[in-house]
Structure 1
Amino acid sequence: MRRIQNQLSSKFAADAVEHGLRPGEFSSLALISANPGLSQAMMAREIGVDKSLAVAVIDDLERLGLAERRHSPTDRRRHALHTTPKGEAALDAMFARLQSVERDVLNVLGPNDLQVLSALLDRIYDSCFRS
């Protein structure tokens, strides 16, 4: 699994760099986009990094104009994370490229194979993040 991840990551990393992002920052931006108002602590938990690293990632995303922190409407001590229009445009371009990379790799699998693979990966993911 690690070798496959490394191969896919290397193909995709060049595209992320064009947008000024490291792959971990792409994941964070995608997570923020899918969960507007997400807290910094929840983002750290979901991407599997400590809170101090998550803060650095968010700082970079803000510096690039791709995401922003806003005060939470329910708790002024907490920041709510949101993507900017520039961040959404960057995500659209990167997701299109990611689909192309995945399509090139997954074209050796039939529709049934893809369903089985997806189900297995979902089970593995769930087992990793059980509380």
Structure 2
Amino acid sequence: MNSKENTATQQKYVHMDLSHSTAHLIRIAHRSFQQALQSRLAVHGLKLSHWHCLRYLWEEDGLTQKELSRRVYVNESTIVTVIQEMESIGLIRRKRSPADRRRYSLSLTAKAKRITQKLLPVAREVNKQGLSNMTDEETRQFNVLTKNIIDNLKQSKAKNG
């Protein structure tokens, strides 16, 4: 590549200012929320991956491993590791399906149900901190717009594979 082509390539990338990239800003906000929540969860001996699973199981106890992996957006091999960790610290029980021995349903233990009362306020506080300089209306609009982005990308994925 000659210097003229190299300069043209560099100029092309200069125009992609990350401070104006929606995807980049959402990623940074997401990572900031994760880091803030993870530090607070660690006090309770939990990882962020445990939190994500607990949230869905609190809403619907008895999910299968496959359904849980779909909801938390991780592949099935990753969810197996998280489930094993959660099982070893007494948060969930796996129960093999009598109809299909390859499937497991996941049930919360009494310990997992008890810590709900401790962890939900922690998560609310992180959300409150992240949105502290926004009005209620701005927060509502932000949530609507973010859901629109998610829906648009899901539709695009379904359409394009």
Bin of the TM-score, shorter chain as denominator length: 0.7 to 0.9
TM-score (norm 2): 0.72
Q: 1:37 aligns with which of 50, 62, 73?
A: 62
Which structure would you say has the larger RCO, counting Cα contacts within 8 Å and 6 or more residues apart?
1
User: What is the Cα deviation at residue 119 of structure 1?
Assistant: 0.8
Q: 1:79 aligns with which of 96, 101, 104?
A: 104
Match of 1:21 in 2: 46
125 and 35 in structure 1: CA distance in 2 versus 1, 3 angstrom threshold: farther
Q: 2:82 aligns with which of 57, 63, 67?
A: 57
Match of 2:14 in 1: none
In structure 1, stretches of 5+ residues that fail to align are none
Cα distance per residue 1:1-60 (max 9 Å; x no partner): 111122222211122112222112210121122121111011112212221111110001
Distance, in Å, in 2 between the alignment partners of 1:19 and 1:39 is: 25
User: What is the Cα deviation at residue 91 of structure 1?
Assistant: 2.9
Match of 2:3 in 1: none
3-state SS of paired residue (2:106): strand
User: What is the Cα deviation at residue 108 of structure 1?
Assistant: 1.2
Match of 1:47 in 2: 72
| Mapped contact 1:37–1:72 kept (Cα < 8 A) | no
Q: 2:94 aligns with which of 64, 69, 74?
A: 69
TM-score (norm 1): 0.87
Q: Supply the RMSD in Å over aligned alpha carbons.
A: 1.8
Q: Which has the larger radius of gyration?
A: 2
